[in-house]
């Protein structure tokens, strides 16, 4: 409850520094190219007022950052632990929903990567298959 | 005073209605994510709630599970619209409670800063409604004004401690975290020297000196103007529309407080 009340005393730390970018990528089996699950949206006039898509993408990014923090402290020690992890379930669902919109059907492979903003190098954090 | 207490409360309420209406439309648009088959199903997120008792979790689940969450959002939106005409503490109290429940559903993943400022607006209006007709009437506006000054100052203070902000090298790196395509197109020049260091120093100066807006109404208007530009740029780069409207809603309180301070 106390952590919940933090919202009344915000830290107001905005853009204080840069972060490497947590990104979900997918790959169709027997292909070599990994692609981003979420494609960048385009700016429109309405984004000044109503912008659910971009707010959702920010929420996805926040979720992946929280998951990364958890993985650094408590990495899963076996496959079942990962499957039962709430962060994992949400991230998997995010990818499934997005790829369904793009008409990409299962099975595919998913991975969580951290992309460096300095040199664009990728650090693969987790890789997992998604099937029916 | 050229900007009366009634006007300040009226404009604060009006912009607050805009802020919450935007949130309502956006959440409604994303309602599929909240169903039990969606991304943020209650089943997937319930382990995040720090509630010890199974009974409390059940009650919370009842309130924020789909489709009840939509009823809760609609309830809050109705109260927000009523608040334009009924300046009663109970209305704002119920908005605070429903907002906390709605926020818990997203675990703070959804625009934390703008949600926090939205709550501060409602808490300020709650204080204003409580003090209505008494000498404490302006307390709500002062509460909002102090929070907005703290928000800029703290954001600036954290930044100035970072060498990458002082050198101006951070802008190009931060902008890459935007969901929009990178580079910025027409505005690409802002991440290159000499503009990037100049923009970084300007942001630091603007944020750290923002509390000065409280001491003089003319100075306050200048800060409001630059605040408008600052948030418009953030909306363009990052698409954070809610930040723009949440901070804009605090400006009537800020201006009123600067007038109040200058009359002391």
pLDDT tens for A38-52 read 999 999 998 899 999
**Domain residue spans of chain B:** 5-262
Contact B155 A13 (CB under 8 A): yes
Q: Which of A66, A67, A91, A41 is nearest to B238 (CA)?
A: A41
The dihedral through the CA atoms of B216, B204, B179, A43 has a sign that is: positive
Q: Which of A59, A65, A95, A118 to mutate to test the interface with B (most CBs of B within 10 A)?
A: A59
Chain B residues with beta carbon closer than 8 angstroms to that of A50: 22, 25-26, 29, 241
Q: Average pLDDT for residues B97-107, to the nearest whole number? A: 87
pLDDT tens for B193-205 read 889 999 999 999 9
Give how far A124 is from chain B: nearest CA, Å.
18
User: Does the pLDDT at position A131 exceed 60?
Assistant: yes
Residue A1 has a pLDDT of 56
Angle of helix B241-248 versus helix B5-29 axis, rounded to 10: 160
Contact A51 B241 (CB under 8 A): yes
pLDDT tens for B40-86 read 888 888 877 776 688 888 888 899 999 999 999 999 999 999 999 99
Residue B135 has a pLDDT of 84
User: CB distance from A33 to chain B under 8 Å?
Assistant: no
Give how far A1 is from chain B: nearest CA, Å.
7
Chain B residues with beta carbon closer than 8 angstroms to that of A94: 39
Minimal Cβ distance to B113: which of A14, A48, A118: A14
Contact A118 B39 (CB under 8 A): no
Q: Report the distance separating Cα A107 and Cα A128, nearest Å.
A: 11
What's the mean per-residue pLDDT of chain B? Answer: 92
The length of chain A in residues reads: 132
Judged by CB atoms within 8 Å, which residues 56-85 of A form the interface with B? 56-59, 61-63, 66
- Name the residue with higher pLDDT: A7 or A65: A65
User: CB distance from A19 to chain B under 8 Å?
Assistant: yes
pLDDT category, A4, cuts 50, 70, 90?
low
CA distances from residue A101 to A31, A38, A60, A94, B208 in whole angstroms, order as listed: 21, 11, 16, 11, 44
Contact B33 A97 (CB under 8 A): yes
Minimal Cβ distance to A50: which of B26, B159, B180: B26
Residue B82 has a pLDDT of 96
CA distances from residue B16 to A52, B63, B69, B80, B144 in whole angstroms, order as listed: 18, 24, 21, 8, 12
**Domain residue spans of chain A:** 19-130
Q: Average pLDDT for residues A80-88, to the nearest whole number? A: 86
User: Does the pLDDT at position B30 exceed 80?
Assistant: yes
Q: Report the distance separating Cα B69 and Cα B61, nearest Å.
A: 10
Angle subtended at Cα A83 by Cα A81 and Cα A84, rounded to the nearest 5 degrees:
65
Contact A7 B158 (CB under 8 A): no
* SS3 of residue A21 by DSSP: strand
Residue B87 has a pLDDT of 94
Q: Which residue of B has its CA nearest to A18?
A: B174
Contact A90 B33 (CB under 8 A): no
Q: Report the distance separating Cα A43 and Cα A47, nearest Å.
A: 7
Contact pairs from chain A to chain B, CB under 8 Å: 145
């Amino acid at each position: 409850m106390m952590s919940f009340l933090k919202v009344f005393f915000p830290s107001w730390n905005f853009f204080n520094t840069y972060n490497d970018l947590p990104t979900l990528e997918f790959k169709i089996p027997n292909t070599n190219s990994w692609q981003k699950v979420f494609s960048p949206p385009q700016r429109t006039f309405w984004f000044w007022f109503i912008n659910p898509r971009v707010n959702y993408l920010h929420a996805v990014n926040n979720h992946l950052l929280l998951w990364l923090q958890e993985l650094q402290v408590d990495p899963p020690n076996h496959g079942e632990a990962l499957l039962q992890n709430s962060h994992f379930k949400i991230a998997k669902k995010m990818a499934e929903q997005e790829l369904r919109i793009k008409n990409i059907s299962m099975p595919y492979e998913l991975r969580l990567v951290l992309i460096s903003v300095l040199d664009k190098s990728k650090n693969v954090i987790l890789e997992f298959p998604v099937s029916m | 005073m050229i900007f009366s207490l009634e006007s300040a409360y009226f404009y604060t309420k009006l912009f607050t209605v805009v802020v919450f209406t935007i949130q309502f439309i956006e959440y409604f648009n994303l309602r599929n994510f909240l169903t039990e088959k969606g991304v943020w199903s209650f089943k997937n997120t319930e382990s995040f709630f720090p509630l010890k008792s199974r009974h409390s979790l059940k009650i919370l689940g009842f309130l924020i599970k789909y489709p009840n969450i939509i009823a809760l959002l609609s309830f809050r939106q109705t109260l927000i619209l009523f608040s334009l005409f009924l300046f009663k503490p109970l209305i704002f109290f119920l908005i605070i409670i429903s907002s906390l429940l709605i926020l818990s559903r997203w675990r703070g993943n959804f625009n934390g800063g703008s949600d926090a400022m939205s709550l501060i607006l409602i808490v300020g209006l709650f204080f204003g409604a409580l003090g209505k007709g008494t000498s404490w009437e302006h307390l709500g506006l002062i509460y909002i004004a102090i929070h907005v000054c703290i928000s800029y100052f703290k954001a600036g203070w954290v930044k100035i401690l970072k060498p990458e902000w002082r050198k101006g090298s951070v802008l190009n790196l931060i902008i890459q975290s935007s969901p929009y395509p990178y580079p910025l197109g027409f505005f690409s020049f802002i991440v290159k020297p000499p503009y990037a260091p100049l923009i970084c120093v300007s942001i630091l100066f603007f944020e750290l000196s923002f509390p000065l807006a409280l001491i003089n109404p003319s100075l306050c208007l200048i800060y409001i103007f630059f605040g408008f530009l600052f948030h418009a740029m953030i909306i363009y780069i990052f698409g954070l529309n809610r930040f723009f409207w949440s901070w804009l809603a605090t400006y009537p309180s800020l201006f009123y407080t600067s007038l109040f301070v200058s009359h002391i």
